[in-house]
Amino acid sequence: MAEEPDSVWTRPKRGRRREQPALSQEQIVAAAIKLLDADGLDALSMRKLGAELGAVATAVYWHVANKDELLELVVDHVYGELEVPTITDASAWRDGAIASAISLRGIIQRHPWLAATLADVGVTFIGPNLMAVSDRILALYETAGFSTIEADQASKTVIGFVLGIAGNEAATLTKLARTGETVEQWVAKAMPAAERAAQNHPRMRALYAAYADYDLNTADDDTFTYGLDRVLDGLELRLSRLT
């Protein structure tokens, strides 16, 4: 029998020891998310988490063996925020896909550290929230008319787009939070250098000129909507060829 991977989801649960202070897994996860939202992934440590909880690090280790297990719990908890509509009519699949994509983007905007974490969480994908969400997503794309395998591939295509776009947005949000600048302030500071660098590149000059009067407050939303619509256009074309 193959050995199961190390994971918070596969490790046998420990019983409570009388000498351990009252500290629940839910408290640990909530405190970790608070630290991650405030300071980012690099700032999270078991020692800092213990200080946030008013407990020694050993009390935290009673619930999670290491930082990797902590991240598994945290990521699965955050994925519980993902809203995936239940549809019964194939014609409603696109609206459902848009709603779930917008929900995932919103989660990453609220928790900018998440996008950078997903590549490292390993078997967190067997967590209860993510399993439930994944099941609902498969149901949405199967109702659209995709087979089980294609439903998985189609949903991963959309999720990959969202993670790519939202990951870039999260990096910008993190940078702005660190500097205390607004988007407008950052662009105003960066644009003169960008325009000088574009002097010998006519298409880039034209692009900067085209964006000169663009509302920066809607630029990210417009780019996200445009890209998501084009991805879904492709999936709709694929569905038309399946019937």
* Same structural domain, 34 and 18: yes
* Same structural domain, 54 and 92: no
* Same structural domain, 147 and 237: yes
Measured at the CA of 78, the angle between CA 164 and CA 83, to 5 degrees, comes to 75
- Asked whether residue 15 carries a pLDDT value surpassing 70, the answer given is no
* Same structural domain, 25 and 142: no
- Express each pLDDT in 167-209 by its tens digit: 888 888 888 878 888 888 888 888 899 999 999 999 999 999 9
Rounded CA-CA distance 179/36 in Å is: 17
Tokens of 173: 């949000």
CATH number for the domain that contains residue 148 = 1.10.357.10
Q: Which of 26-30, 116-120, 210-214 has the lowest mean pLDDT?
A: 116-120
Average pLDDT of the chain, as a whole number: 87
Rounded CA-CA distance 151/228 in Å is: 17
Question: Does 22 fall in a domain?
Answer: yes
Q: How far is CA 170 from the centre of its chain?
A: 9
Question: Does 197 fall in a domain?
Answer: no
In angstroms, what CA-CA distances link 56 with 28, 31, 64, 72? 12, 14, 13, 21
* Same structural domain, 69 and 111: no
CATH number for the domain that contains residue 44 = 1.10.10.60
Question: Does 160 fall in a domain?
Answer: yes
**Domain final position from 33, 53, 79:** 79
In angstroms, what CA-CA distances link 127 with 90, 108, 130? 29, 18, 5
**Domain final position from 79, 96, 119:** 79
Total structural domains within the chain: 2
State pTM to two decimals: 0.86
* Same structural domain, 126 and 232: yes
* Same structural domain, 5 and 18: yes
The pLDDT of 156-177, averaged and rounded, is 89
Q: Which of 23-32, 86-95, 130-139 has the lowest mean pLDDT?
A: 23-32
Residues of the domain holding 55: 1-79
Question: Percent of the chain having pLDDT more than 90?
Answer: 54
